[in-house]
A and B are shown apart, each in its own frame.
Chain A
Amino acid sequence: MAVQDNDAEMLRIMGNTITDLQIQYRASSLDDQAILITPLKEMLQDYGQYLARLLKTGTITTDAELTEMKAIQNSISKKATRQELLIAFAKIVALIASA
């Protein structure tokens, strides 16, 4: 599922609101910044969470699948060791046979 038009519009509005608030924040005295910092933080957090929700939509591989992939990796790794032993063994056999 892709991002809906209203989600995109909401992000656009939130982004512009953050920019305007940041400009107001930067133009303020430190005393006023102490007050403005809270709504600015909240706005950025809302934006970050909104974006996070969209980024998670249909994109996250489950922990179970990641575990399964790890298991396949481990299995190949073990077989790699066994294969090396097998090849070394085969080389010895070939050496003895040719002797």
Chain B
Amino acid sequence: MEILSKMALPVFLLAALCLSGCTEEKAKALRLAAESFKIEADTACSMGADSIKAAVSLPPRTRLEISRNLAEAKQFGANELEIIYSDPSIVDAGIAPALSALNKACEAHRQLAAIYTDLPRGYLLATDDVKKAQKHVVNVTLRFAKLAQVFDSLPNVGRDNIARIKIIEARAKAMAVTDEKVRAPLLDAVAEEVLENQTRETLKRTQVLAQFAKATSYGEQLTQMSINYGQLSVADILESLQELSSLYGNVTSRIGVGQNAIERIQQVEARIKNDPRLSPLLEVDVIQ
């Protein structure tokens, strides 16, 4: 009997902990929120990296262009062949520092999500850890909001360099035609492409910024869940996730969000900085 009463202690402990508002379902919901932030932020980072590359990419040489290169070369050896092959690597090497900086900025939300991976298995004992993680959730979210604002300020986000080069080359080619009757429709086609590319670039920029705004909103949501974890029910957490998903779910909303991306991101930043529970958790570099 004495042994049984000693062994009953863990059962009592578990029961007491279960009453503290921490349940496996809530832990799973918090993990889902962290994973959602990670997925959306990763998508934004990937779209950001693509936009950095697209802004300075070279069109690949066509067979016709290579034939012309071969015909015009005074000599053709290993060095000349290397020049033909090196087009993509010139661009990749040039933008490598920018992509490396972006990748470094995008490490934090991945590590943040990893914190919650095992939470559903350890939710009873890990309440202190969840509390400790709050500081990181807030700072990572605000740093991501800053990254989003940097992208909003970059003029070349959405820029399609390959399309621009082709437009300029097509115009030069058209202008080389002496017969005005033949030249006019060629220039008209170039003009059409100028307009179409402008629309494509604007849309691309909007999509990139909308994704950054979306990820920032998921970061803010995770921040609020983390801070209010004790008071929230599973239903509250899931409902909040559902609301965000609906907001960004349809195309019309996404475009609207993209057009107001900077406002949304700045609003998140202001809300976090002005929240008396969150502001004491901010690191010096994110306050500036």
Contact = CB atoms under 8 A, between A and B. Distances in A.
Interface of A: 1-3, 7-9, 11-12, 15, 18-19, 22-23, 26-27, 29-31, 33-34, 37, 40-41, 43-45, 47-49, 51-61, 65-66, 68-70, 72-73, 75-84, 86-87, 89-90, 93-94, 96-97
Pairs of residues from A and B, 9 with the lowest C-beta to C-beta distance, nearest first: A44-B94, A80-B122, A3-B153, A80-B121, A61-B108, A51-B98, A52-B97, A79-B122, A79-B125
Query: Which of A7, A22, A61 has most B Cβ within 10 Å?
Result: A61
A66 B107 contact: yes
Contacts of B75: 31
A4 to B, nearest CB: 8
Interface of B: 4, 7-8, 10-11, 13-14, 52, 55-56, 58-59, 61, 65, 69, 72-76, 79-80, 83-84, 86, 90-91, 93-98, 100-102, 104-105, 107-108, 111-112, 114-119, 121-126, 129, 132-133, 136, 139-140, 143-144, 146-147, 149-150, 152-156, 159, 161, 164-165, 168-169, 283, 285-286, 288
A31 to B, nearest CB: 5
Contact of A48 (B65, B76, B95, B118): B95
Given A15-B55, A75-B126, A83-B124, A69 B115 contact: yes
Contact of A1 (B55, B69, B97, B288): B288
Given A51-B98, A56-B104, A11 B155 contact: yes
B136 A69 contact: yes
Q: Is the interface of B mostly helix, strand, loop or mixed?
A: helix
Contacts of B149: 2-3
A58 B288 contact: yes
Contact of B97 (A48, A58, A68, A87): A48
